[in-house]
Structure 1
């Protein structure tokens, strides 16, 4: 029971901490377990109070559907209370919060029901007094409830007692999936169920030791009562556990009983083990995790002392050494261009057994033109494989790249782009292949220019791109040697002469209010084969709609003036741009204008800086308005054209607004006649 965090807000479907606790933990302990969640968004300690409690004036009334009276009606084994921050956010004093907690828990305890209480959680947007209330009740819960408290604060709060960005679902209040996962782990660690389900078993010893290439578990009990079995579990991080096997328990004993279990999997790193101790009635309890360290000298019978890669002429040479070997077979040499995908290129026989340094050498006979990575796949006679770290090899580019590019530039020439480059030295060069890209990622061949071939002085080259460009593009040189190797220059940006390629000159563009309309005016000083000007309107500079079309003069060398009146009797804050098209079908866009003043309707400019916000946004069917002060507000919704499509005069804070029937698009939500103005995206 509690508020929105316990209800699962901020997390995706079935990823709230309470649902995770049931799905991933309780059902694993006992499939017949049942979890009832009566948490409610926005609730405080007053909402959770008993039915007949009368709160002070101005405080919320108990909710019989979600309070302690309702919880006890289910006859639960245990109750977990999770109230995140609503009491402090509503400025409820510490003394009132404490009295409510004490009374609620006492009612449960009187009926034999144990209660665990979580601390408050950090949130953004609180003032100094509210933060003091939030941390004050946190500290009191930890002190007053002791081992029946669960810390929901540490690890998710900043040093200034705000919510860490990495756990913020986006509203500054609720936790995302990672945050809910952290809270779930905290509840598991609190041992709520284990406290209820302890059997009479005394685990007196539990150790893990290496035996050859395996790890062996040994444990003993001082007494047992109605025990069924020990389930052995292993983990690499002491957090996530995997079942390995089970050992039958003695069942009932008042003297020492000893057990042993061997993990048959060969391990190369430390792991953790725990005992899942199951009683005959299905209840379970867990031992602490015990670390097991395998005998790496048994499972990895060598020590790699060194491993280097150095250039030798046009090749790369690998040198390595071992300080000890035992029953080794060979070294398999592998190469990778990205240190991720590896390819075998050869092998070298190992000494096999040695108690002193052994040295090895291998040459990669394939000529490389860029850095490569190498690793050793080290194989023992027992068939096990071990891998060294990857080592970067940098080839001698002065040997493998027989040229030096001295310059490379791109300049506009009328409606074309011209490439000029030079080399300071060449050796056995074949040609330069010219490539072009619109994004500097995907390249297309345009042509080629023959290289001088061999030269020890500057050689100059030229190439003209005959295709007319209307925007910036990139060029690079694919430089090919007579040995078939290819080398690439850096990409160089080419900016075409837009005075040549754009067939118009826009000298002005503005918008002014006129009566109940917005009048747009623009002028050109030159046009060539222009077709029309389409006036486009937007509320957010992202989604644009056509407002009207004005024919262009076509071809002109004198000033031309144009105007268009946008009839928006209820205009809100809008943006305009010109979509200018020529007779060839090409389109050009002007800069964006914003209306300098509003005509009629909603006053002011949309205020996105307020803490008041819409969640969720974008919305599919329903949304709420968060952070409103007071309880009743007027809400109006306008579409992009300024038409009123929804109004509610008595919207109550915390309720949802259904917009499932509205078409997809951008809307403006106006609260209390313009006190708040928020943009809403309907999906």
Structure 2
């Protein structure tokens, strides 16, 4: 009888130990689940507002703040006032603006005056001009326009400027001139400016509603070459003014499909003022908040 009880107790003990062992094994084993549907991890939030692609961007270009100091008097170079000379074609002349006062050159004059920057701005730009029209007097090139001695680099340097701004937009491409020859002309202009110890800025090309896609693509190609050629002295306005196909954005387009309207001129003026060299020379700081 005692043996039977002992066996029973032993059986109960073995059962208890078995159950206990199973619980230990389940506790130590990893939990594996098979979800009915995978849920992707949320992407990190980097911008709470909608992203705007470059070809959709029509936000204002805000000019920088004046440092409230006069322009360096050494920039006068014998002139009554420090002088900036503009060379270029239609946009620099003011084509597309509803009134002369809304062209980018006149907007520049207005802001400089408002900021008490006593500077003379001489505009020698003329519509239809190419890089050949502003080459040094006496330059000759077969089947290419001769320089206009009243509106070229030679005349500009006669005005003893401290800064020359050159804005030729699309006419070289429209006339079929190669990028190589246009850049060769630009290099001649640059060498003359450097030799005369004159600061300079070259504006890049603007978009244009060329029928040929190849011509519109050349705008981008030439712009990239220009920036690579002289990155510290190029004002890059192409993408800001362009649609994805490098036609002019409707917000900035003048009716002729070649030039920019009042808002487009505001963009160019804003980019000129925000160019690091321009800010350094004229005394401007950070962009307005």
Cα 1:152–1:285 shift into 2, 3 Å: closer
Shift of the alpha carbon at 1:152? 1.6
Q: 1:143 aligns with which of 228, 236, 257?
A: 228
Aligned to 1:40: 126
Matched, 1:70 2:69: no
Counterpart in the other structure of 2:185: 100
Q: 2: CA distance between counterparts of 1:4 and 1:110?
A: 28
Whole-Å separation in 2 of the counterparts to 1:287 and 1:124: 34
Cα offset for 1:31?
Answer: 4.4
**Paired position in structure 2 for 1:127:** 212
Q: What is the alpha-carbon distance in structure 1 between the residues aligned to residue 114 and residue 278 of structure 2?
A: 12
Offset of residue 131 of structure 1: 2.3
Give the aligned partner of residue 80 of structure 2: none
Listed one character per residue, the Cα deviations across residues 60-88 of structure 1 (whole Å, up to 9, x for unaligned) are 11111111001111000101111110000
- Cα 1:285–1:122 change in 2 (3 A) is closer
User: In the alignment, what sits opposite 1:50?
Assistant: 136
Q: Show structure 2 runs of 5+ residues with no match.
A: 1-86
Q: Secondary structure in 1 aligned to 2:269?
A: helix
- 1:108 Cα deviation (Å)? 0.9
- Of the three residues 269, 275, 288, the one matched with 1:190 is 275
Q: CA deviation at 1:129?
A: 3.4
Instruction: Confirm or deny: 8 A CA contact 2:204 2:234 kept in the other structure.
Output: yes
Find the residue that maps to 2:102 and give its secondary structure: coil
Q: Is the 8 A contact 2:219 2:246 kept in 1?
A: no
CA contact (8 A) 2:210 2:216 kept: no
SS in 1 for 2:201: strand
Q: CA deviation at 1:288?
A: 6.0
Query: In 2, are the aligned partners of 1:79 and 1:116 still within 8 Å (CA)?
Result: yes
- 1:416-431 map, 5 Å: none
Q: How does 1:625-664 map to 2 (within 5 A)?
A: none
Give the distance between the partners of 1:79 and 1:157, measured in 2 at CA.
Answer: 25
Indicate conservation of the 8 Å contact 1:88/1:131, yes or no: no
Which deviates more, 84-93 or 147-156? 147-156
2:241·2:252 contact (CA, 8 Å) conserved in 1?
yes
Bigger RCO of structures 1 and 2 (CA < 8 A, at least 6 apart): 2
Please say if residues 273 and 279 of structure 2, whose CA atoms lie closer than 8 Å, have aligned partners that are also in contact: no
Say if 1:285 and 1:164 are closer, same or farther in 2 by CA, change over 3 A.
closer
Q: C-alpha root-mean-square deviation of aligned residues, in Å?
A: 1.6
Contact kept in structure 2, 1:89 and 1:126, CA below 8 Å: no
- The 5 Å alignment of 1:158-237 reads 158-197=243-282
Give the secondary structure class of the aligned counterpart of 1:36. strand
Contact 1:118–1:141 (Cα < 8 Å) also in 2: no
User: Which residue, 68, 80, 90 being the options, matches 2:175?
Assistant: 90
User: 1:286 is matched with which residue?
Assistant: 285
- Matched position secondary structure for 2:241: coil
**Residues in 2 aligned to 1:131 and 1:12: alpha-carbon distance in whole angstroms:** 26
The reply to whether residue 8 of structure 1 matches residue 7 of structure 2 is: no
1:583-642 per-residue CA deviation (whole Å, 9 max, x = no partner) reads xxxxxxxxxxxxxxxxxxxxxxxxxxxxxxxxxxxxxxxxxxxxxxxxxxxxxxxxxxxx
CA–CA separation in structure 2 for the residues paired with 1:194 and 1:27 = 15
The number of equivalent residue pairs is: 202
Q: CA deviation at 1:160?
A: 1.0
1:390-405 equivalences under 5 Å are none
Length-normalised TM-score, structure 2: 0.66
Kindly report which structure 2 residues correspond to 1:308-327, keeping only aligned pairs within 5 A, or say none: none
Distance in 2 (CA, whole Å) between partners of 1:38 and 1:91 is 24
Q: TM-score, normalised by structure 1?
A: 0.29
Which has the larger share of strand? 1
Q: Which residue of 2 aligns with 1:462?
A: none
Structure with greater Cα Rg? 1
Give, in angstroms, the shift of residue 139 of structure 1: 1.0
Question: What pairs up with 1:594-673 in 2 under 5 angstroms?
Answer: none
